[in-house]
Every structure is written in structure tokens, then in C-alpha cells.
A and B are shown apart, each in its own frame.
Chain A
Amino acid sequence: MNAPVRRRLTLDVSDLPGVAFGHRNTTWLANVFFMVIEAMMFALMFATYFYLRTRSTDWPPGHLPPALQYGMANAVIFLVSVVPAWTVRKRAPEGDRRAVKNGLLVLTAFAVAATILRIFEFSTLNCRWSDDAYSSTVWVLIGMHSGHLVTELIETVVLLAISFTPKMEGTRLADAAINSDYWYFVVITGLIVDGLIYGTTRFL
């Protein structure tokens, strides 16, 4: 090749930070894509629910609507759990490792409680998945949400574990904040699923 090219102009990026919080973080973007995928799945299951509803005269067909107690208890937990999630999300960019650790601890507690209640919730649906299409849909809706709940629980536990080590800094703090976004997603989808399962079976 020919003589070395003289470069007069350069763009120096050495001063740029090594972490970004919020929407600038690349993992945040991936998390958004991930939530869009999951939201699409839920949306299609909701569509399935209403589609099957049009194919049946009674709803629920020959069952009692699911009993309220555990589902409603869980809905309350979901609503309250927004607080620790919010704390983590707010404190993480400030580098407040202590607050993040405590927030994750409380969040874990809520997630565990919600998961345990969920196990009981299955026993009060007043149907089995293999009864008919209605029952299948109810079980899959709530099962899908439980899958997200457990995934989120595991993620929170892992972050909690990291927060007890010195590695909870930089991008890990950003990850903890992103985890809160995902928890919001689990809460919102959970409330919608509850609305379908407990609401439309009574009022539709």
C-alpha cells in the first residue's frame, strides 16, 4: 500500500463514561425489546381468550368463576412491591449500594410471597386445564405469568447475591435498575391477567 495517511482530525472519546443509566444503557434497550416480545405473547393470549369467548355462549362454561382470595391478595402485593422496585431504580444511578441492596432484599421478599400465593391461587381456579378450552386458557394465562414471576424472582435473587459482593457497581448497578423495569412489567401484566381471570368471568 502507499505511504501512511496523515490524520489530522481525530475524535477523542477517552473521557466518555464507561456506564450509562436509563435509556442510554444498551442492556436497557435489550430489555425493552425483550418486554415487547413478552408483551406480544401476552397480547396474543388475551386475544385468544376473547376469541374463544366468542365461540361459547356461557362464560365460564359450566364452571364457577375463579375464587377471589389469593388472586386479590397477590394483586395487592404486586401494587405494594412497586415501592422497592422504584427505590432500586432511583438509587442505583446514584451509586447508593446500600439502598440498592436493601431494595433488592425487600423486592425479593415480595417476589417470594407472590410466588407462594400463586401456588395456592392455582387451587382456587375452580377448573382444571384439561376440562375445556376456557379452563385451558385460564391456566395458560396464569401459568405464563407465573413463568415471568419466577424468572424475575431468580433474576432478583442473583442481583441480590451480587449486591453482597463488591461487584455490585458500574454496569451491575445499571442492571439492578433495569431489573426494576422488568418488575414493573411483571406487575402490569399480572394485573391485566387478574382482570381477565377474575373480572371478565364475573362481569362479562
Chain B
Amino acid sequence: MAVAEPILGNDQDTGQSVLAHRLARTWRQPRGLWGWFSNTHHTDIGIRFMVTAFIFLLLGGILAVLIRLQLVRPENSLIGPDLYNQVFTMHGSTMIFLFAVPMMFQGFGVYVVPLMCGARNIAFPRLNAFSYYLYVGGALVLWGGFLTNTGPDVGWFAYVPLSGPAYSPGHRADIWSQMITFTEVSALGVAICIATTILRYRAPGMTLNRMPILLWEKLVISLAVIFAMPAVMIASGLLLLDRLVGTHFFNPAEGGDVLLYQHLFWFFGHPEVYIIFLPGAAIVSTVVECFSRRRIFGYTPIVVSVVATGFLGFSVWVHHMFATGLPQLSESFFTAASLMIVIPTGVQFFCWVATIWHGRLQLRLPMLWCFGFFFVFLIGGLSGVMLASVPVDLQVHDTYFVVAHFHYVLIGGALFPMFAGIYFWFPKMTGRIADTTLGKWHFWLFFIGFNITFFTLHFLGLHGMPRRVYTYGPDMHWHGLNAVASSGVVFMTAGLLVFLVNVFRSLRTGETAGNNPWGDAGLEWSMSSPPPPYNFLHVPTVGGRDPLWDDPPDQPVVVGLRDDIRETLVTHSLDADPQHKDEDPGPSIWPFLASVAVSAAFVGSIFTPWAVPIGAPLVIVTLVGWLWPHGPSPTPRPAEEV
């Protein structure tokens, strides 16, 4: 079959345009400042997540530049130990909690998932909006603290007892813990929305085994979030209690235990890194399929691998704790588990090669970034294999070798796929195609700069440079390598600046995209770009894994959904049979107000316990306002004929 023409939603047809007009009125989001805060449509919230997260990538990046400047020569006095410790903690926390997860899981998920499902909106749109504001709240707390010299300074995993009341007086570590609460509640909220959307809002016919791989991955990630995030909430929550009300969970003098914290943190921390990487893998699978011009090879193995990764991710956390001297037998078990998790990742790599090998490769921008991903993530994954070996890890643990590993996997697994995804969906989000020439400059500058910086760090680690040191003596002879590493940042910065220029230019002067500029198969390409507020003129039905490639032009569409209220179709979790109809609750200011109340209570509780009794009623009021049934009750009215 040839490139799929847009088969749905032809606005020139008058009957269709009447419907389009009515739907647009029903699903319209309010305007103005108040309206901005009331918006609950997933495309808008998704883009907000992405833009906000991108800003934090830049802010985190600026901190990285500071780190590299400080380390460029021995005994540099640019920033002292106090500031340096805040800077690297802020860098790590910002990148992980304010950039990587919000961008890769929340941003792309919220934007793309309902479109790929064929849904008019995400499930629980108000919870979704609430999650966004809470994320912003957490970000403001963390950066507000940093700008007032109260930035956390205990590392992104804030080990006790250093982060405990005895060794971190003041509010720095409190800020870190509360930021965790904010961002994790946000991720959990979005996980519920996305998992429910995938399980219940799929277009009729999109049975589980016809679900695009991206949806599978988002489902697995949502579940991983649901199972993993509670662990870090407990870890940071108990830390906060130790600090604020004098409990003794982590105080060895009173029967507490310092390793307990590490177990709790890494039980979350390792699944977390797959929560960051799997969305990247999902984007890669999507892009590779599109630009190889063939159906992805190995749908089932890939899905099985993703599910396996989700499970195995929970069984390897101790590999971050090898140096604590746990019994050798248990450490060997965690080596085995860590190596096992290579297999599903490997299977995905092999399937991507096979797809390209037997396809017809079009090296457009998104695909170029996928090749960047293959190269970079491969190196990072292989150094991960080295770390999984206990004896090797005992040597390189907490050195720049580990820093090199995780930048290769994080930037390889998140940043490169992110740019692939941005260039891929940019036409859908904005209606215009991003410029290719600038995009290539962006790629090569960033790719080269990245490798200059981070490949060098492997050598520094092997030659004994510990991480998190604010300076080092000339007698260690680390300065040559450090200078090389720092020089790469120049190229990375230039690359990112080119990207920003590209975005702003393409927004105004880019080539217009049409519905489906790449000829991709996903349902998100069946409506105009950017999508109308109701997403689909007719909710589609689906007859194959690659709807726009597989389905005939007369593929049935759903009729009978009302156009005067926001009606959505709920289908069966497994076989996607239509089951009943839900009403989308529509825009509301309450989620925003609730997030303000919750934020106030969280932040206040750092300073006074009274914030809890004062804040709780406010939170309750806003939640009741949010959930209280509004307007006329949905008594059945006859559906408009289509």
C-alpha cells in the first residue's frame, strides 16, 4: 500500500465541517490568563511539560558548564566547596527529576499517547493538569532554594547521615526532600492518567497485540512509576521526619540504619533509570519504523523485552551498593541480574538493526538522532556491563568512570531520542517542519562535543579521579584530561544554541507540514497539524498494528458520540471493544488552585509543623471544589446524527 492519505476529517466536506465546528465549540479550551490555568487538554499540557522540562535542561546545563569550568585546571578557585556541592547536586537533581522524567515520560507521554490511542483527550485531564502544576511547584522550590543560597548540597541521592539532621543543618536537604515529593506525586499522577488512557481509551479494534510499541512502553513505564516511586517517597519522607521531628530511622546511635536509606533509594533509583530510558527506546522504535519504510521487525520480541526490562529493573538495585561490603553471594546475584537486563536491551538493538537492514533507510533528521543514540547508548550500556562486575565496580565506583557511564546512557538514552522525537513530532505540534540544515549542525556539534567531554571522563576514572570533588592537586596529573573534557562543552553549547535558533526560526518560516509529512503509520498523523482541540473528527477504528499503513481508506469510523458535550469512548482493556461512554470533565481552575494549596502545605511544613493543620483544610477545599459535580447532570439526550 502506498503512503497513507489522510483518510479522516476532510474539512472541505460541508457535513464534516458542521461537525467540526460543533466539536470545536464543545471542546474549546478557555482563553486568557485564567483560561491558561484552566486548560486541561492533553496536547497543551504535554507541550507545557516539554517546554518546561527543556528550560530545566538548559538550566541544568548551565550548571554543568560551571562544573566543567571549575575542574578545568587543578586548584581552581572559581567556585569554592560550598557552592560546588550545591552546583553538582542541583545539576543532578535538575537533570533527573526536573528534566529527564518530566520530558521523556510525562511530556512525550501526555502529548502523544492519547493521539496514538485515537482518544479525544487523556483520561483524568484534571489530574493531568494538576500534575503539571505540582511539577512546576517542585521546580520552583528547588531553584528558589538554590537562588537564595539554600540549594541542596548532598548529592542527587542525598545519602544519610550526611543529609541527616546532624551533618546538614539548615534547610538545604529539606528542600531536596520536598522537591522529591512534588515531582514524584506529579509523575504518579501522570502515570495513572497514561495507564488508564492506554488501557481504556484505545480506538476500537486496537487490541493489545495491535498496540503500537510506543504505547506498550508507556504502559510498562507507567506501571514501573507506580511501583518504584513509592520507594523514594518513603526514603525522602523518612529523611524529612528524621530532620524535622526527630525520628531516628537513619540514626545508628538510636537503632536506625544508614544502609536502609540506600536500599530504599536504589530500589527506586534503578527502575528510575529505565523510566528515563524506555521512553527513549519507544521513540527510537517509532522513528526507525517510519524511516526504514517497513513494519518494525520483531514486534513481539520487542514488547516482551520491554516488559522484561520493566520487571528486571526491580531486581538490580544493589549494584549501586557493591562497595558497602554486603555478603559476596548476594552481590554476585545482583551482578547476574544486572547482566540479565542486558539481554532485553540487546534484543531491541538487534531488532532495530534488522529493521534497517531489511528496509529502505531515509536518513531524515529524526533518524540521524537515532543513529546518534545507537552509538552513544551502546558505549554507555557496555560500560554498564563493566560496572555490573563486582571487582571492577569496587575499583571504579564513585569515580569519573561511573560519571562517564551514566552520561552515556542518560544523554544517549534520553537526550538523543528526545531530539529525534522533537524533530519527529515538531510538525504535528507546530504545523511546520524544522529546518534540516540547522538540524544537522545541531547534531554534529552536539555529538562531537558530547564524545569529547564524556569519553575522556572514562580515562579520568580509570586513573583514579573520584567524582564530586571540587578540586584536585596538580600532583594527580588529572588536568590534561580535565581540560580536554571541558573543551567539549563548547561544542555542546553551540549545538544547543543552534537548536534554539532552529526552533524559533522554523516556528515562523518552516515548511508547512500537512497532516503526515513523514508518511508514518500512527493515528496521530491522521488529523491536521497541530491537532484540533477534539483531536479526531471521528474517533477512528483500527484494523492493524500500523493503522495508516494497514487500514483501507474505508476503515469504519465511530459515530454516535455526542458533539454537544465532551463525550469520550471507553473500550475494553484487552480487545478494545467499545464498552461505554465517559464524559470528559472539561477545563477547570481547581486543579491549579489545588496544586497551589498542596505546594504551600509542602513548603510550609519545612519551616513549621503548623503548615500541615493550616494547609490540609485548604487542600481539602480545593479538592472538593475540583471533584464536586458541576452543571446539569448528564441526563441522556439523543445523539446528534452525523
Contact = CB atoms under 8 A, between A and B. Distances in A.
A2 B5 CA distance: 10
Interface string B509-528: 00000000000000000000
Interface stretch (A45-53, A80-88, A99-107, A194-202): A45-53
A5 B570 contact: no
Contacts of B195: 29, 33
Given A10-B559, A14-B560, A44-B264, A136 B10 contact: no
B245 A20 contact: no
A14 B578 contact: no
A169 interface: yes
Contact of B620 (A10, A14, A154): A154
Contacts, number: 179
Contact of B580 (A18, A55, A134): A18
A21 B247 CA distance: 44
Contacts of B553: 5
A13 B559 contact: yes
Interface size class of A (residues with CB under 8 A): 35 or more
Given A36-B227, A132-B248, A55 B257 contact: yes
A7 B200 contact: no
Nearest to B259: A51
A52 B247 CA distance: 13
B128 to A, nearest CB: 12
Interface residues of B, number: 72
B590 to A, nearest CB: 14
Nearest to B515: A1
A185 B592 CA distance: 29
Interface in B112-137: 123-124, 127
A204 to B, nearest CB: 16
B327 interface: no
B636 interface: yes
A44 B570 contact: no
Contact of A24 (B191, B263, B559, B580): B580
B579 A167 contact: no
A71 B187 CA distance: 35
Contacts of B12: 1, 4
A44 B230 contact: yes
B245 A34 contact: no
Contact of B241 (A20, A52, A140): A140
Contacts of A167: 629, 633
Contact of B247 (A19, A140, A171): A140
A164 interface: no
B569 A13 contact: yes
B82 interface: no
Contacts of B256: 52, 55, 132-133, 136
Contacts of B557: 7, 9-11
B345 interface: no
A40 B191 CA distance: 15
A29 B260 contact: no
A56 interface: yes
A144 to B, nearest CB: 9
A18 B230 CA distance: 34
Interface in B350-399: none
B7 interface: yes
Contact of A26 (B16, B123, B636): B123
Given A11-B557, A12-B560, A130-B246, A37 B226 contact: yes
B249 A44 contact: no
Interface stretch (B65-73, B231-239, B453-461, B467-475): B231-239
A52 B260 contact: yes
Interface in B126-174: 127
Contacts of A26: 123-124, 196, 200, 570, 582
Contacts of A142: none
Interface in A168-196: 169-172
Nearest to A130: B246
B347 interface: no
Residue among B204, B581, B583 with most chain A CB within 10 A: B581
B569 A169 contact: no
Contacts of A6: 554
A40 B580 contact: no
Interface in B522-547: 541
A162 interface: yes
Nearest to B573: A29
Contacts of B267: 44
A158 interface: yes
Contacts of B561: 13-14
14 contacts: A6-B554, A10-B642, A12-B560, A13-B569, A15-B560, A26-B200, A30-B196, A36-B227, A45-B234, A133-B255, A158-B627, A162-B628, A166-B633, A167-B633
Interface of B: 5-8, 10-13, 16, 123-124, 127, 188, 191-192, 195-196, 199-200, 204, 226-227, 229-231, 233-234, 238, 241-242, 245-249, 251, 254-257, 260, 263-264, 267, 541, 553-561, 569-570, 578-583, 620, 624, 627-629, 633-634, 636, 639, 642
Given A2-B5, A16-B581, A136-B248, 5 more contacts: A14-B561, A52-B256, A55-B257, A133-B256, A136-B249
